[in-house]
Structures are given as C-alpha cells and as structure tokens.
Structure 1
Amino acid sequence: MTSIHPRTRIAVFIGLLLGILGMTAHAQSSVTLYGILDTGLLYTSRTLDPVTGQNAGHQFSFISGGFGPSLFGLRGTEDLGGGVQAIFALESGIDMANGGFNDSNGNLFGRQAWVGVAGGFGTVKAGLQYSPFALSIIGTDPRNTSSFGSGVPLYIGNVFVTGVFNPNAISYTSPTIAGFQGSALFALGGTPGNFQAGRQYSASLDYHAGPFAVSAAMYSGNAGGTATTTPIPSTVEFSGRTIGASYQAGDLTVKVNYVNYKVAGSFDNRVYGAGASYFVTPATNVNAGVWYTSDGNDTSNHSLMAAAGLTYNLSKATLLYGQVGFVNNHGKMDTGLSLHGALFGVQGSTVGADVGIRHTF
C-alpha cells in the first residue's frame, strides 16, 4: 500500500473540509470563511543574537504579520429556537512568508477551535479559546494590538502565548446588565492523576457607558499538562492582572492600561501604557503609544518603548500601513519592537520601522 505524507493528508483534509462547509454555507447560510493576509518589511537598527545575547547589528527583513496576524478561519451558527444558537469557530494562523503556521500555538487550528451555545443567558464555549485576561488587554491596548510597537510584543515576550490560546478550556460570558459584563474561563491540564498540572483560570469584568469603557481581568496558570506538546509554549506558569480604560470622542480614541506579568521563579514585570488613535479622514488613521516596563523584583531592569503608526484604507478590505518605533532597555530587560523579527531586544536603544499591506476577506 502506498503511504501518504502527513502534509499531504493535511492538505486533503483542509480541501475536503472547506468543500463540505462551503456546501453547508450555501444551503444554510450559517458558515462563514474569513481571513486576514498581512505582509511587510521590517527594519531595526539593532538585533539580538540569540546565542551570545549581544547586538548582531541592524536588519532588514520580510515578515508576515507586520500590523496584525495573518489567519483564516471558519465560524458558524445554528438557530436552535427560543433565542438560542449553537456556535463554533475554527481559526488557524498563517505564515505568509512560507505558507506554514504562525500567530498561533503552532497547530493547524491553533488560534481557536471551540463549540458552544449562546442566548439570553449569555455564552458558553468549550475548546481552544482566548482567555478573558487576553481579551481585556486586547480591548484596552493603546495601539490596538498592532504586532509592532504595542502591548503584543510585550505580552508574547513575557509569557509567549500562555493565556492567549487556552486549550481544554470552558468559558462563560454573561449578558450585559446595566453596562456590566463578566466572563470566566477554566482550563483543565489534561494530565491523569495531576489535577494542577497545566490548570488555568481567568476572569474579567467590563463596564461600558457611552463613549467610556473600563476593563479589569486576572489570570492564573500552572506549568505542565497536555498543552506542553504544542509547538509554541502555552503553559508558562504565571499570574497576571490588568486594568485599562478607553474614551472615544468623535474620531479620537484614547486608551490607558496597566498589566502585571508575574512569572514563577522569575520576573515580576509591571507594564504601564497609554496612547491615542485619530481618524484624520475616514480612510486615514494616525496613532501613537508609549509603554514603560519595570521588574518588581529588581527595578534596575526596566524599559521604555514608544511607537507611532499611519494606516490608509485603499478600500474596505485593503489597507497600507507604516510604523516607527523606539525602545530603550536597561539592566536585564529585553523588550523588543516587533512580534515578528524583533520579539526580544538588546541593551541600550534600538529604533525600527515597518511598512506593509493588509487584506481582509
């Protein structure tokens, strides 16, 4: 019998899956294929040598996801009656440079893979999903979670994708009541005989009142568990706390947030961020933000990062972007400017920039 290469099997599986779901979407109008394609060019004046820990010189490189993640996904709903729906999502990160996996935990559907129900009682999901802690940070990030010069390289540089892509998870999100909405998640480690290995839990509370919004959240997770088999670390043992707020006045949005990453047996980073975004025209946006990070265990370890960006929408689906940034590291701090190509930085000052194109479908 002729053997089939595993990658060929995956390709055949995806083709069959998309074909079947495409027919389902046509018949029921309940399944949607969506995606984001983002490519860019990155420059940094200094680059970390992972072997020596020293400056390897400047770089100029092609990157996937210069502004945000490249991905594709499937989401769907089914009306169960009585105002209740069955819902699901499957989402995969894409490396636009080589067609591989990226911006995920390294698996095929390593960003989201969950099924649930939603109604007047709220929403319940089961499977791989975002934690309330990560969603709170996303909602209050001063530069709207750009992959360059924002809270994103700070988050991933601290704990990789732990708390972002949570496996074995069950979550509940309440309906909004008097402006308040709560969410909680519990993830099982999956190791027989060791309930604590890989166990994760998170909760958040959001409040919205007209143009003003505030969000607070916590996270606690243990090392180990079955998630340790994912290609990208997703069970770094740490506890996290965050609180942030945003205010929108016409075309101007201002955001501030605070995030604490306390990693077991290591650093206790406190990150303070603030920034603003302004639509000069309906198609043109300018934004800027600044982040100060200090290690609570040793305040000689600290960094300052600042970044600004400009986006221009060629259409509703396609935009061009350009971003510039600066970071200064002291002590053992290794803050980097970009999630891709410059996740960790060197001591002293580094400047960088990226330009690219982003298309959504």
Structure 2
Amino acid sequence: MKISKLKLASGVVVAATASTANAQSSVTLYGIADAAITFSSKTASASGGNAGKSFAVADGGGGPSLFGMLGVEDLGSGLKAEFRLESGINVANGGFNSSNGNFFGRQAWVGLDGDFGAVKAGLQRSPFFIALYESDPRNYSGFASALLLYAENVAVTGAFNSNAVTYTSPKLAGFQGQAMLALGGSAGDFSAGRQWSGSLKYENGPLMMNAAIYDGNSGGTVQTPVPSTVAFEGRTMGAGYTFGSLTFKASFVNYKVAHSFNSNIYGGGVDFRLTPSVELNGGVWYTTDRDDTVNHSVLAAVGASYHLSPRTSLYAQIGTVNNHGAMRTGLSVTDTSLLRGTPGTSIGGDIGIRHSF
C-alpha cells in the first residue's frame, strides 16, 4: 500500500550529563477507499432459503476501506518505539465498517522493535489470522477468498484480539516465529475470553512455508457488536512459491468451533502479474465438516485488477459456490447479504475501484 508521510517532529534533543543524543520521530497517515457494485444469483433469507437475486453498492469489494496512523520513534542502538491506530470506514454510507463498532477497532497498539524482535500490546491481529493471509492466493479479498471462510466460521475472533500481547522474533536462517496471549480479564475467571496463538514461517527466496495455531475461550470483558471471543481451535499449514511473475499458494486449515462445524478447508490458487498494470488471481476452496461429511461446499473465484496508477486500481471479480447438506458458504464479506449462502449453486461478482493514500 502506498502511503504518504507527515513529519511531526524531528531532532528531539535530550540533554543528559555532558552528551546529547538525537532521535527521529514520525507519524504516517494512511488509508484505503474501496467501493464496489455487487450482484448475486441468490441471497439467503432469514430462514436459510433463497430470497432471490441481489444488486447493490458495497464497501470494500477488493478489501476493507480504512484509515490509520503509524508512529515511529528511533530510540537509538537499533531500538524503536511504535504505535498504530486504525479504523475501518464504510465509503457506501460514511459509517464504520470492519471495526466491530469501535473508532479504532481494527488495530490499536503500542510496542518496541529492536534486535531482539518486536513486542506489542493492545488490539492486534493474531498470528493465526496473519498466517492465513500469507497463504491466500486472493490476498484476503472481500469477495470469495480465504477471508470469507474465516468470517463464516469464527466471525472476527482472531482478526481483532483485544487485551493482547504479542512477540515477533527476528529472522534466523529464514525462520521467524510469532506468539500472542490475549487476556480475557473477567474477575474471578481469568480463563474467560483468554486467547492464545502462535506461528512459524520459513522464507527462502521464492519459497514460503508457514504453520499456525489458535485457541480461544468464550466470555471475557470485551464488549463489541460482533463477539470477538468465539470459542474455537484453529490449525493451519500453508505454502507459496513464486516463478517470476507467477505465484502459487496452497493451504489447509481446520476450524473446530464450539457448538458448530468442525471444518477442514483445502485451498489453493495462483496470482499472476500479466503486465505492470494488470494482475490476475484465482482460488478454489473445498470445505467439509469432519463430524458429518454430508455438509460440504466448493467455492471458486477469479479476479482481475487494472492499476491506473500506483495508488488507484479498477477491479472485477466473479465466483461461484456449491453447498451441500447444512453447509452455507457464501460469496462476500463486505456485502452482508452474501455472507451466508443458500443450498445448491450460487453465482456472483463485483466491479469496483480502490484508492490508497
């Protein structure tokens, strides 16, 4: 994402004994505005049936619209203090979106980064959520991607982790690890809302491999419109390999959700930079309920982006999903009428514009 920097302060002088040290501070303002027109051959009714076709304007067809601030201060000797505040916006109506009802509901953390790695405290992404993004061939698009399957299984749990502390190790021989502990904080019951996650990634030239785990309890003190402490266990393994402008990615993930499905998801796809201005990608995901294999679905989608400039692009996406048994895989995260699917086969798509600043 292309971002512009606004220098708020520099040359902070600290007088101590007979020496003087200079530290550089900056705050980066950044954001994305994304809007799309969506359509689908079916939408889910309140009873789970087919309510008919849909045609609508939606925020974030290619990815969420957002704005934020990233602050960095150089403390010297390779040590930096950092903070990030990030909120989602809905360009379709001017309201909140992808922020779970909070002003800075996407990210809000402060931390230290140095030769030892990085430590952060506050509202953050889990290592499990990040690992799934890294192995998604459609880069967590708002339409028909691994993000859709994530949201349908556990909503925003793991994407927005409140009261969290994370540690990211430095890279060593291509390996990098990350760990997170989110404290539920309920008086008399410290396990309520407790969440932990860990990941390990290996990168060597064109090869990327990762694995991650997530374990969370329900409850806790976090008050948000969409529960962010759904009790679930998550496991994933992913890989990617790049040949020039062509990247292959594949992943396996298991969502074992309390009082719901125990889903295995097998996915894979490609991303291809056809020209400097044109990018194509596609993916296929097969979901099956380990407890009852009658419940299964197949989701497939392709997308194309045309970059008018480094900051502005036009895009189009089309996908289809086929549901069997009680499985109700949808087509879109950002168009909520398409989040939950219907029995049988549905076809949909969107066209949109995306600008980053």
So what's the TM-score if we normalise by structure 2? 0.93
Aligned twin of 2:144: 149
Paired position in structure 2 for 1:207: 202
**Cα distance in 2, alignment partners of residues 104 and 269 from structure 1:** 26
Number of aligned pairs?
Answer: 339
User: What is the RMSD of the two structures over their aligned residues, measured on CA atoms?
Assistant: 1.3
Which residue, 35, 39, 44 being the options, matches 2:40? 44
> Aligned partner of 1:265: which letter?
H
SS at match of 1:205: strand
Q: Give aligned-pair identity as a percent.
A: 57
* Distance in 2 of aligned mates of 1:30 and 1:200: 32
> How many angstroms does 1:37 deviate by?
0.4
Q: Which residue of 2 aligns with 1:163?
A: 158
For structure 1, list consecutive stretches of 5 or more residues without a partner in the other structure: 1-20
Q: Aligned partner of 1:313: which letter?
A: H
**1:360 partner amino acid:** S
1:126 & 1:184 partners in 2: Cα distance? 12
Is 2:8 aligned against 1:24? Answer: yes
Cα deviation digits, residues 33-57 of structure 1 (max 9, x gap): 00000000000000001x2211000
Partner of 1:267: 261
Other-structure match for 2:67? 72
Distance 1:147 1:23 in 2: 33
Q: 1-side partners of 2:144 and 2:77: how far apart?
A: 45
Find 1:319's aligned residue among 292, 313, 319. Answer: 313
Query: Residue in 1 aligned with 2:170?
Result: 175
Deviations 1:206-238 (A, max 9, x none): 0001100001000000000012x1112211000
State the distance in 1 between where 2:7 and 2:129 align: 34
2:53 to 50, 53, 58: 58
Q: Equivalent residue of 1:153, what SS?
A: helix
Instruction: Tell me the equivalent position of 2:20.
Output: none
TM-score in terms of structure 1 length:
0.92
Whether the aligned pair in 2 keeps the contact of 1:142 and 1:257 (CA below 8 Å) is no
Equivalent residue of 2:173, what SS? coil
Question: 2-side partners of 1:29 and 1:58: how far apart?
Answer: 52
Which structure's residues are more often helix, by fraction?
A: 1
Cα deviation, 1:52-85, whole Å, max 9, x if unaligned, reads 2110000000000001010000001101111100
1:230 aligns with 2:224: yes
Matched residue SS, 1:281:
coil
Q: Which residue of 2 aligns with 1:94?
A: 89
- 21-30 vs 234-243, which deviates more? 21-30
Work out whether residues 6 and 26 of structure 2, in 8 Å CA contact, stay in contact via their aligned partners in 1.
Answer: no
Partner-residue secondary structure (3-state), 2:130? helix
Q: State the match for 1:83 in structure 2.
A: 78
8 Å CA contact 2:277–2:307 kept in 1: the answer is: yes
- In structure 2, distance between residues paired with 1:118 and 1:290: 37
Deviations 1:314-359 (A, max 9, x none): 0000000000000000001010111022111000000001000000
Q: 2:17 maps to what in 1?
A: none
Q: Matched residues in 2 for 1:25 and 1:248: separation?
A: 40
- Are the counterparts in 1 of residues 213 and 234 from structure 2 also a CA contact under 8 Å? yes
What SS is found at the alignment partner of 1:344?
A: coil
| Equivalent residue in structure 2 for 1:332, among 316, 326, 330 | 326
For residues 9 and 242 of structure 2, what CA distance do their matches in structure 1 show? 37
Alpha-carbon distance change, 22 to 144 in structure 1, aligned in 2, over 3 angstroms: closer
Moved more, 33-42 or 264-273: 264-273
2:211 corresponds to 1:216: yes
Following superposition, which runs of at least 4 residues in structure 1 exceed 6 angstroms of deviation? none
- Pick the aligned partner of 1:351 from 347, 354, 357: 347
Cα distance, 1:265 vs structure 2: 2.4
Q: Distance in 1 between matches of 2:130 and 2:213?
A: 11
Any stretches of 5+ residues in structure 2 without a counterpart?
A: 12-23
Given residue 296 of structure 2, which amino acid in structure 1 is its aligned partner? H
